[in-house]
């Protein structure tokens, strides 16, 4: 969930009234936001770097608000305020207007064919006669960063560039060139660099180095020029210093380039709708023309208003309320979805503004109606569905066995399903390739390299962590192990295993054997070679030679039992003899 940090005073000023923290928390809860933290810059620095460094930092109260991941229009103060004001019916949703200048007068962005392989899409727009203050400027920059982190997927899908239009002149060209042919002064630098030098320059920059890989090894780098060869930006890395905007900038040229056109359009729409509030003609955006390599042109921003028809009964039915169509229309309008009743009063026409790209289905509209109604005002009912319930057979067997194993004096353990490679192979005297283990590609630590193929290491590690407990230690676990299986649709499956260990001054083979007999008795499997269970002496790498047996039941081998080999015991950092039993219980389900 993205977090937006806003100054409390600014927020209340824009909302037109003050709230206590609790009142504001409730408002957020209703709307679907979460007031995560009330803090200040001083507090933040204090927590991260200590009291000393925090001296002199601002004490202005900051609200950290968690915003749903699909609401790009709430990622800045302007959007939050607008959303909340419309929700509280204090303002009407502004109408965003696209101003298309006469032929030849508007800005043009020409895309050349070289961009096709690296960053094919671009959209652009102009914010004319905008008035920035320090707060608005900061908010503008912040919004770009938030969008970059979220919908732009760290600039991989879309990168935003904003420029002072008065320092450049169109038409602008978006092309791609070899790194050695690109030279300009990057933002906040004092000299010109070639593109390759820029890569090196930012390799250690804590912020920008994460984006270098997006274009670094490609033959051509994307670059945007104006008609005089001034560089606007080299997306997605950095803008040019020449065009940087400041608090005094009056006209802003915005370009979004990327690999996903739909997202680029959404990003542009969000930026212009949010900040056109501060233009001389509020909520108006000057359109720009984008020219494609094949000569086709397109006007951006789209600022599309989409109309959808929804039946009021559907909304009522799905939520479980019964509101009249006019009152439903009012609820939706409060959520920035302007609606009115049409037809014979039995249909609703909903207008979806460009700030709500998250509305893609009637169910999204229904959710918004429910939010406006207030989730906690909905009457709670129980579905009349009549079904007969069942426990999954393997789980039922597991539950029954667990009770009886505990009754036999063994304590249940619950261990991790992920472990290190050594745990299931080397420490048990086996080679990893002999196990059919499932391997993890990106473990955070060595403890999560593979999924367990046996419950034994988990139990042995549990004993090692509990050495101070009085002996004997008798543990068991009935849980899943994972093995590769090419016959399944994913390539692996779980098996329900039962494992028990006995740890004491003497190995206690007879105790483990007794437990096996008891389990078989409970499972009603007689001790016979033909149709019951039997054990046969065998060798096992984890077991003491001559003290290991294989368990056969229902015509198949289902596990082993025996005294553990001293090497195994030492590798798990244990010091006493230990006997163990492990078997698959699925054949008995």
Residues at the contact surface with another protein, assessed by CB under 8 A: 29, 31-32, 34, 68-71, 150, 153, 157, 260, 262-263, 317-321, 360-364, 366-367, 370-371, 375-376, 378-383, 385-392, 394-395, 416-418, 437-444, 448, 451, 480, 482, 484, 486, 489-494, 496
Q: 64, 5 in Cβ contact below 8 A? A: yes
Q: What is the smallest separation between the CB atom of 35 and another protein, expressed in angstroms?
A: 11
Q: What is the smallest separation between the CB atom of 129 and another protein, expressed in angstroms?
A: 34
Residues 75, 143, 302, CA angle at the centre, nearest 5°?
A: 85
Which residue from 19, 122, 33 is spatially nearest to 73, judged by alpha carbons?
33
Q: Can you spell out the DSSP letters for 176-203?
A: EE-GGG-EE-BTT-SS-EEHHHHHHHTT
Residue 72 and residue 233: Cα distance in Å, rounded? Answer: 24
Looking at the Cβ atoms of 9 and 26, the one nearer to another protein is: 26
Residue 78 and residue 99: Cα distance in Å, rounded? Answer: 22
Looking at the Cβ atoms of 39 and 70, the one nearer to another protein is: 70
Please tell me the number of Cα atoms within 13 Å of 450 on its side-chain side.
22
Q: What is the smallest separation between the CB atom of 360 and another protein, expressed in angstroms?
A: 4
Two tokens, residue 557:
């081998």
Which region, left, alpha or beta, applies to residue 537 given φ > 0 means left and ψ of -120 to 50 means alpha?
A: beta
Q: Helix or strand or coil: residue 474?
A: strand
Q: Helix or strand or coil: residue 397?
A: helix
Residues 501, 432, 423, CA angle at the centre, nearest 5°?
A: 35
Looking at the Cβ atoms of 51 and 399, the one nearer to another protein is: 399
Looking at the Cβ atoms of 407 and 490, the one nearer to another protein is: 490
Q: What is the smallest separation between the CB atom of 156 and another protein, expressed in angstroms?
A: 8
Q: What is the smallest separation between the CB atom of 508 and another protein, expressed in angstroms?
A: 30
10 Å Cβ neighbour count for 388?
A: 4
Two tokens, residue 555:
């015509």
Residue 550 and residue 272: Cα distance in Å, rounded? Answer: 72
State the residue for tokens 């939050």. Answer: 80
**Alpha helices of 131-194 — where are they, by DSSP H?**
134-149
Looking at the Cβ atoms of 234 and 478, the one nearer to another protein is: 478
Looking at the Cβ atoms of 409 and 443, the one nearer to another protein is: 443
Q: Distance of CA 118 to CAs 115, 122, 159, 255, Å?
A: 5, 12, 13, 16
217 upstream amide cis, omega within 30 of 0: no
32 phi and psi angles, rounded to 5 deg? 110, 10
Looking at the Cβ atoms of 272 and 321, the one nearer to another protein is: 321
Looking at the Cβ atoms of 197 and 421, the one nearer to another protein is: 421
Q: What is the smallest separation between the CB atom of 481 and another protein, expressed in angstroms?
A: 9
Looking at the Cβ atoms of 40 and 70, the one nearer to another protein is: 70
Looking at the Cβ atoms of 438 and 520, the one nearer to another protein is: 438
Q: What is the smallest separation between the CB atom of 390 and another protein, expressed in angstroms?
A: 5
State the residue for tokens 């709430």. Answer: 74
Q: What is the smallest separation between the CB atom of 458 and another protein, expressed in angstroms?
A: 11
283 upstream amide cis, omega within 30 of 0: no
Q: 502, 508 in Cβ contact below 8 A? A: yes
Q: What is the smallest separation between the CB atom of 355 and another protein, expressed in angstroms?
A: 16
């Amino acid at each position: 969930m993205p977090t937006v940090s806003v100054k409390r005073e600014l927020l209340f000023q824009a909302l037109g009234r003050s709230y206590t923290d609790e009142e504001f928390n409730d408002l957020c809860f209703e709307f679907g936001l979460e007031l995560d933290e009330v803090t200040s810059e001083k507090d933040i620095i204090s927590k991260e770097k200590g009291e000393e460094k925090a001296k002199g930092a601002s004490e202005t109260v900051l609200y950290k608000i968690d915003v749903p991941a699909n609401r790009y229009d709430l990622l800045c103060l302007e959007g939050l305020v607008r959303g909340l004001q419309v929700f509280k019916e204090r303002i009407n949703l502004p109408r965003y207007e696209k101003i298309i200048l006469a032929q030849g007068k508007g800005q043009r962005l020409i895309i050349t064919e070289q961009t096709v392989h690296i960053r094919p899409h671009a959209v652009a727009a102009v914010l004319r006669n905008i008035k920035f203050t320090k707060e608005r400027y900061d908010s503008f920059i912040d919004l770009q960063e938030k969008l970059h982190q979220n919908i732009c997927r760290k600039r991989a899908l879309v990168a935003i560039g904003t420029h002072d239009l008065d320092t450049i002149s169109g038409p602008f060209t978006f092309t791609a060139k070899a790194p050695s042919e690109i030279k300009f002064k990057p933002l906040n630098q004092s000299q010109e660099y070639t593109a390759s030098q820029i890569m090196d320059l930012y390799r250690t920059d804590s912020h920008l180095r994460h984006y270098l890989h997006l274009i670094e090894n490609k033959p051509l780098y994307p670059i945007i020029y104006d008609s005089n060869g001034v560089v606007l930006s080299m997306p997605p890395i950095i803008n040019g210093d020449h065009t940087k905007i400041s608090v005094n900038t009056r006209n802003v040229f915005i370009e979004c380039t990327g690999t996903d056109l739909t997202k680029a359009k959404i990003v542009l729409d969000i930026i212009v709708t949010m900040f056109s509030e501060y233009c001389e003609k509020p909520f108006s955006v000057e359109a720009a023309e984008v020219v494609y390599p094949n000569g086709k042109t397109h006007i951006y921003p789209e600022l599309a208003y989409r109309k959808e028809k929804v039946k009021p009964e559907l909304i009522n039915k799905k939520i479980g309320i019964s509101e009249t169509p006019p009152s439903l229309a009012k609820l939706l309008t409060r959520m920035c979805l302007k609606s009115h009743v049409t037809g014979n009063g039995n249909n609703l026409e909903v207008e979806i503004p460009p700030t709500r790209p998250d509305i893609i289905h009637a169910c999204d509209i229904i959710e918004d109606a429910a939010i406006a109604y207030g989730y906690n005002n909905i009457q709670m009912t129980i579905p009349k569905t009549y079904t007969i319930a069942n426990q999954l057979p393997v789980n039922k067997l597991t539950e029954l066995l667990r009770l009886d194993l505990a009754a036999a004096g063994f304590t249940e353990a619950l261990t991790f399903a992920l472990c290190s490679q050594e745990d299931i192979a080397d420490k048990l005297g086996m080679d990893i390739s002999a196990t059919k283990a499932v391997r993890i590609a990106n473990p955070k630590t060595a403890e999560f390299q593979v999924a367990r193929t046996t419950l034994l290491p988990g139990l042995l590690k549990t004993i090692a962590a509990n050495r101070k407990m009085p002996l004997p230690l008798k543990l068991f676990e009935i849980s899943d192990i994972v093995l590769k299986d090419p016959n399944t649709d994913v390539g692996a499956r779980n098996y329900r295993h039962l494992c028990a260990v006995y740890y004491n001054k003497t190995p206690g083979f007879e105790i483990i054997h007794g437990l096996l007999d008891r389990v078989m008795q409970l499972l009603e499997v007689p001790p016979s070679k033909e149709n019951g269970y039997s054990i046969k002496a065998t060798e096992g790498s984890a077991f003491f030679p001559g003290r290991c047996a294989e368990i056969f039941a229902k015509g198949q081998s289902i596990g082993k039992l025996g005294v553990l080999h001293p090497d195994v015991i030492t590798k798990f950092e244990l010091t006493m003899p230990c006997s163990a039993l492990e078997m698959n219980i699925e054949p008995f389900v």
